[in-house]
Amino acid sequence: MDIAVDSNQESVNAIRYFDVLIIGAGISGIDAAYHLQKNCPGKSFTLLETQETFGGTWATHKYPGIRSDSDLFTFGFKWKPWKDAPIATADKILRYLNEALDENDLRQHIRFSCTVISASWSSDEARWTLEVANGETGEIEQYGCHFLWMCQGYYRHSEGYMPDYPGRENFKGPVIHPQNWPEDLDYSGKEVVVIGSGATAATLIPAMAGTAGHITMLQRSPTYFFAKPNRDELADTLRALDVPDEWVHEIARRKILYDQKEITRRSFEEPEALRAELLQAAQNYLGDSLPIDPHFTPSYRPWRQRLAFVPDGDLFRAIRRGEASVVTDQIDQFTETGILLKSGKELAADIIISATGFNISVLGDITFTIDGKALDFHDCWSHRAVMFSGVPNMAWVFGYLRTSWTMRSDMVAEFVCRLLRHMTEKGVRSVVPTLREEDRDMPELPFVDPENFNAGYLTRALHLLPKQGDRDPWVHTQNYYVDRETLAQADLEDGTLIYS
């Protein structure tokens, strides 16, 4: 028996039913759709997407220079070769995703301008019912499915994280968050202060340099950057040898993963040597324009946050040309003409950009209920960081934070398809991750260990995320190599997945 007993019956009681609903048409949603179509042929599915277009992150962000900070061999799909330089602009990523949709005839499955507001599970019907706001018609529609695949990313797309700056109302110029970049912003010749030193600041500053009068990167504390030419020598050599694109893609992925594994190992075993190398690479691009200390010498161990790639050292070269500079200090308050710092120094600004990251949105700001009871995901245990204890027929994609996100989307997609096929073979309608007797004494640990990864956006949101335990399958390691063993080869009859 297939779980999709009434699939494809449009408009039964005005509810549109599908076997699977995928929420979000970003890179993870497209990946999910590809795998579902290929590995579970016959299952009906649709993707519901708030925006008018696909691409998620790469459609939302429109600030100057917007680009990936990890390489596209691993950020791209396992199943579609990347044929360009490793770091790519949003335009190039969107072109790649557009091709993926066309080549696999997936666009017909996406319903744009559809925001999922609520999702309710009924155990009697073994089905999710979703309320969806249709942005085109203004109506609330109902969708039903047997399995919900959450690919809604991990942050709120409508607005970024903007701290409550003291005196913000005094500042006469615009205060902008890069996630809501005004299309008509004219910054030519202007004094710009960018608050923050993450990947966004590192992208914006070289892109605006030369047009803006001057840009100052104001950081509370330094960040590690990975400054390197934007090319992959191995991939270039293989291409020069006319090796097929599929091989180049796979070999480059393996090499990059291998190198990242080395970086991870060294960050634990020889953090000082790794740190010295990262700092030296930055210093090489800076020349003698600025000493590396104190502005680029973080106090934490490398790799506790994603290493922002600085292609061709462009951030450092902008500083070297005198078009940008760095200040390490704390904000006392905004003034009429800029920012007063805790040191007493004042930074003049015409425009202030708050490159301060995003607000985590655990599951797309959707209200979930199970048999009428409100669901708080923090009460749940994470099952392989894919499912939640007590939550039937639902998977979510939470990718890697250091390694490329998509490496995990791919693996989750394979797992979900395997699970769906398993359910069909068993003739069951629902699956619920459930603690075994021996799991009941597990310590409640945060979903991401702050000792291992300490980015602010995550530590701010740990109270919203599920908890993890101390044993398989309740742990979340953020480790590709562990997942390759545990997730890819997970026993679907290990006693933690209860079918009915």
| Residue 7 binds to ligand FAD (criterion: CB under 6 A) | no
Min dist CB 403 to ligand FAD, Å, is 7
Min dist CB 224 to ligand FAD, Å, is 15
Choices 21-29, 329-337, 426-434, 441-449 (CB under 6 A): range interacting with ligand FAD? 21-29
| Residue 61 binds to ligand FAD (criterion: CB under 6 A) | yes
| Residue 151 binds to ligand FAD (criterion: CB under 6 A) | yes
| Residue 68 binds to ligand FAD (criterion: CB under 6 A) | yes
Count of residues binding ligand FAD (CB under 6 A)?
32
| Residue 28 binds to ligand FAD (criterion: CB under 6 A) | yes
Burial class (CB in 10 A: 0-12, 13-18, 19+), 494: exposed
Choices 51-59, 95-103, 240-248, 433-441 (CB under 6 A): range interacting with ligand FAD? 51-59
| Residue 364 binds to ligand FAD (criterion: CB under 6 A) | yes
Choices 268-276, 396-404, 452-460, 477-485 (CB under 6 A): range interacting with ligand FAD? 396-404
Dist CA 134 CA 57 (whole Å): 21
| Residue 397 binds to ligand FAD (criterion: CB under 6 A) | yes
Return the residue matching tokens 């696909």. Answer: 54
Please identify which residue in 49, 232, 314, 410 interacts with ligand FAD, judged by CB under 6 A: 49
Which residues on neighbouring strands pair with residue 176, listed in sequence order?
353
Please identify which residue in 17, 34, 73, 75 interacts with ligand FAD, judged by CB under 6 A: 75
Min dist CB 8 to ligand FAD, Å, is 21
Taking residues 115 to 144 in sequence order and writing x for each that binds ligand FAD by CB under 6 A, - otherwise, the string is xx----------------------------
Q: Which two tokens stand for residue 240?
A: 């020069």
Choices 13-21, 68-76, 269-277, 413-421 (CB under 6 A): range interacting with ligand FAD? 68-76
**Polymer length in residues for the chain:** 500
| Residue 48 binds to ligand FAD (criterion: CB under 6 A) | yes
Min dist CB 142 to ligand FAD, Å, is 14
Return the residue matching tokens 């925001």. Answer: 115
| Residue 313 binds to ligand FAD (criterion: CB under 6 A) | no
Choices 48-56, 230-238, 447-455, 485-493 (CB under 6 A): range interacting with ligand FAD? 48-56
| Residue 70 binds to ligand FAD (criterion: CB under 6 A) | yes
Please identify which residue in 405, 415, 447, 480 interacts with ligand FAD, judged by CB under 6 A: 405
Residues that bind ligand FAD (CB under 6 A): 23-29, 48-51, 56-57, 61, 68-70, 75, 115-116, 151-153, 157, 200, 364-366, 397, 399, 404-405
